[in-house]
Amino acid sequence: MPADFVLKAMNTAHRALLKITGGRVGYDAMGMPVLELTTIGRRSGEPRSVMLTAPLEENGHPVIVASRGGDDRHPAWFLNLRDEPKVEVSVKGGPRTPMVARIVTADERARMWPQIAGKYSNYAGYQRRTEREIPLVVLEPPR
């Protein structure tokens, strides 16, 4: 599965593409909107940002997939938001907006996963590669 170095390099390349093109390229990937998620590092306490696709919306809120390319480990950003669900989200280079990350329930996942995997086969492949159930996260405004 992808090494941490590879994942970080991909994120750096994605950010470079956005900068070079002035955002004309990079805010859509395989037909999915791309957003920037900023979490608080669970060990460092420092902000950590990552570019992610949002393959589904739930009541107008983006749903992100903690796939890590089908790795048996959860992505660091997921572990961060699991410990501290207050996050910030930037869409299309816009301002960071405070949000709350909510890991979906089993019933919600049972409804959402077939929609995601049916439309984006890469996610179905990631789930086949790992024994862990890949979590889904809804990014909602704070209440």
- In the structure encoding, which two tokens stand for residue 64, read together? 């992100």
pLDDT confidence of residue 101: 98
* Residue 115 pLDDT class (50, 70, 90 cuts): very high
Instruction: Give the residue among 52, 18, 59 at the shortest CA–CA distance from 35.
Output: 52
**111-125 as b/e, with b when 16 or more CB fall inside 10 Å?**
ebbeebbeebeebee
Tokens 């992505």 correspond to what residue?
A: 75
Looking at CATH, the fold of the domain delimited by 4-140 is given as Pnp Oxidase; Chain A (2.30.110)
Return the pLDDT at 23: 54
| Lookup: tokens for 104 | 């979906």
pLDDT surpassing 80 at residue 66: yes
The label of the residue with tokens 């599965």 reads 1
Q: How far is CA 81 from CA 20, 21, 37, 77, in A?
A: 30, 30, 10, 6
- Which of 6-10, 32-36, 52-56 has the lowest average pLDDT? 6-10
| Residue 3 and residue 73 in contact, taking contact as beta carbons nearer than 8 Å | no
Q: What is the pLDDT of residues 52-63, one digit of tens each?
A: 999 999 999 999
Contacts of 84 (CB under 8 A, 6+ apart): 39, 40, 42
Query: Could you tell me what percent of the chain has a pLDDT over 90?
Result: 67
Q: Which residues contact 123 (CB under 8 A, 6 or more apart)?
A: 55, 65, 67, 116, 117, 134
Range of lowest pLDDT (12-26, 69-83, 122-136): 12-26
